[in-house]
Amino acid sequence: MISQFNVPSTLVFGAGASRELVPQLARIGARRVLLVTDAFMVSSGLAGRFSRDLGEAGIAVALFAGVQADPTDGNVGDGLAAYRKGGCDSVVALGGGSPIDAAKAIAVMTANAGLLGEYQGYHKVPRAGCPLVVIPTTAGTGSEVTKVAVITDTGRNVKMMMLDRHLLPQVALVDYELTLTMPPALTAHVGVDTLTHGIEAYVSRKATALTDPLALTCIRLVAEHLEAAWREPANRAAREGMMLAATLGGMAFSNSSVALVHGMSRPIGAIFHVPHGLSNAVLLPTATRFSLPGAPERYATVARTMGLCAADASAEAAGDSLVEGLAGLNARLRVPRLRDCHGVERARFDSSVEKMAADALASGSPQNNPVVPTAMEIIRLYGEAW
């Protein structure tokens, strides 16, 4: 089997990596950047800090801080207008997965004339966009190293998944020092999202020899560091471990794929605005139990890698310990049940569940799962996660 592997051409990792922004932009030849971020990054002072650094280096900055959680086609259009108004030649993304995904879409729209919705799906973006440099502030969605962006189509109320190598940033500056102030709940949710990336990349039908080692190292690092990062936000070793896990998990799933958890998670986000990491975390134990029979040896390796069972445990016993271990991790990190997530009401859930199952299947992700579910099975799984 032939496999292709795409990552950013430059990845700078470690404490202080974000201070490489000016030299990296200078290397690319950027003169006027659009800084894509959100209101929190402005209020925290981080957007201002980077803007000042750029200004002092003679690089002009247009600020676009209008990205919302679950970024929309409207956010991308507004960002593109700001890029053109500012006469920009490049984009810098600062923040979590939402600003980074929005920035990826803005960057490709600078060079492609179609409507954003035309690029939904796999390998649909005709031309590379302007240069894109990304600075993640969470660990993480892994978006800084992936060729994937998820943007809500507000007309259809669907989270559009786009996968194309033109969505890859040129440069990722991965600086765990920016995550030292992440609050515990966010640490937990994006941390379990990272674990989901590792697990789904490893059990996916599209897993390759190039992605397996990255996925397994991601899984091991989350097992080692997530709870410490959640308990002690300033624990540098734990934050560095989680940042590395997020980076490796992103590289793994971007070149393998995600699967059922992400497929079922996006409709929850589109309809109820449950944050991406949280909706994945809520679904992970349930979807894993359903998927075990399709890849028992792979799931057993995941359980062993997380230290959830003895090295010589049978595949069946290891699979059981994995499901228990994932549910236990959620409980310790205080991840709520689906019914307890803010904004999820039973009546709307019941009336939406058929559309959610159809949208999950239409995204293509469940088709990569070890067991490919029917729409009826997805509806049942939503009910089990409730």
Residues that bind Fe ion (CB under 5 A): 193
Looking at the Cβ atoms of 149 and 356, the one nearer to Fe ion is 149
Query: How far is residue 250 from each of residues 36, 259, 290, 374, measured CA to CA in Å?
Result: 21, 14, 24, 27
Nearest distance from C-beta of residue 36 to Fe ion, angstroms: 19
> On the CB side of 63, how many CA atoms lie within 13 Å of its CA?
15
CB of 281 or CB of 356, closer to Fe ion: 281
Smaller CB distance to Fe ion: residue 131 or 285?
285
The nearest distance, CB 161 to Fe ion, in angstroms, is: 11
Q: What tokens appear for 39 in the block?
A: 């209101």
Query: Quick check: 301 and 215 in contact, CB under 8 A?
Result: no
Q: Is there a contact between 27 and 56 (Cβ–Cβ < 8 Å)?
A: no
CB 249 within 8 A of CB 226: no
Q: Which is nearer to Fe ion, 131 or 249 (CB)?
A: 249
Task: Tell me how far, at minimum, the Cβ of 244 lies from Fe ion, in Å.
Answer: 17
**Coil/strand/helix, residue 314:** coil
Ranked by CB distance to Fe ion, the top (closest) residue is: 193
Nearer to Fe ion, 193 or 320 (CB): 193
Q: Of 20 and 101, which CB lies nearer to Fe ion in the complex structure?
A: 101
Tell me how far, at minimum, the Cβ of 48 lies from Fe ion, in Å: 29
Under 8 Å between Cβ of 294 and 302: no
Asked if 154 and 37 touch (Cβ cutoff 8 Å), the reply is no
CA dist 227 and 236 (Å) reads: 13
Min CB(191)–Fe ion separation in Å: 11
CB of 190 to Fe ion, least distance (A): 8
Decide if 277 contacts 236 (C-beta within 8 A).
no
For 94, phi and psi rounded to 5 degrees?
Answer: -135, 120
Neighbours of 130 (CB within 10 A): 20
Between CA 130 and CA 196 the distance in angstroms is 31
Smaller CB separation from Fe ion, 100 or 171: 100
| Smallest gap from residue 251 Cβ to Fe ion (A) | 13
CA–CA distance, 297 with 338 (Å, rounded to integer): 29
